[in-house]
Structure 1
C-alpha cells in the first residue's frame, strides 16, 4: 500500500460520518473527477476579474470560447455517470461569465457606433 493510500485511509477514520458519503463518492475528492473541475474554477475567477477591465481590452474570441466551452460541457456533465455537480456548476458559471463578457463587448461596440453616428 502506497503512503498516499495509507494517508487517505487514516484521514477517512477521522472524517465525520456525514462527510463520508461525499468523500467516497465516485466523483469525490479521492478522484480526478473532483480535482479537474475544482482547478477549472480558476478560469471562472479570472473571467469575473476581467469585469474590471474596459470592454475594448477584452477578446471576443476568448470570451466566446469560454462561453461555448462552458455551455457544451454543462450539458455533457448532466449526462455522464457518475453525476458530477462540481463539473456542472463550474462549466455553467464559465458559460454564464463568458456570455456576460460577450454582452459587455457587444454593448461597447454598439455604443461606439451610436456615438460615431451622432457625431456625423
Structure 2
C-alpha cells in the first residue's frame, strides 16, 4: 500500500500543473477568496451596516499578507491577488463608513429620504384628488 501511495505521489509531483493544484500554494488562496468575494458583495449594502473596527482590521490584515505572499519562496501570486482584491474592497468599505458616519453621508441620506417621502405624500394626495374626481364623474 505504501508503494502505491508513493507511486501516485510521484505521478502527481511529476506534472507541474497537478503539483501546483495539489499544494497549499493553490488551496490556501482559493479557500481564502471567500473573504474578498463577501467584501465585494457587501459594497452594494447599506453603509450603516459597516463595522469600522472590523474594516480597519481587515485592511491591516490584507496589507500584511500581501507583503508576506511575496516574501515566501516561491512567491505566491494567487495569495497576493486574493489579498489585493480584499484590500481594495476593504478600503472601499472604509471610505463608505467614513463618508456615512463622519463626512455627512447619514444626514444627506436622511434628507434625500425625507424629500422622497414628501414627494410620495404629494403624489398620494394627487391620486386621492383624481380618485375623487373619477368617483364624482361615475356617479353622474
TM-score category of the 2 structures, normalised to the smaller one: 0.7 to 0.9
Alignment coverage as a number of residue pairs? 107
**What's the C-alpha RMSD, in Å, of the aligned pairs?**
2.6
Residue in structure 2 matched with residue 40 of structure 1 by the alignment = 32
Residue in structure 2 matched with residue 59 of structure 1 by the alignment = 51
User: Bigger shift: 56-65 or 3-12?
Assistant: 3-12
1:79-118 pair list within 5 angstroms: 79-109=71-101, 110-112=103-105
Q: Taking structure 2 as the reference length, what is the TM-score of the superposition?
A: 0.63
Between the aligned partners of 1:66 and 1:2, the Cα distance in structure 2 is 45
Structure showing greater Rg? 2
Structure 1's unaligned 5+ residue stretches are: 14-19, 116-120
Q: Deviations over 1:4-56 (max 9, x none)?
A: 7666666789xxxxxx43333xxx21112221111110001110111121111
Q: Secondary structure at the match of 2:69?
A: helix
From the two aligned structures, give the one with the greater helix fraction.
Answer: 2
Between the aligned partners of 1:51 and 1:62, the Cα distance in structure 2 is 14
Question: Cα 1:114–1:39, aligned 2, differ >3 Å: closer, same or farther?
Answer: same
| 1:77 to 2:72 alignment | no
Match of 1:23 among 11, 18, 22: 18
Between the aligned partners of 1:64 and 1:2, the Cα distance in structure 2 is 50
Q: Taking structure 1 as the reference length, what is the TM-score of the superposition?
A: 0.73
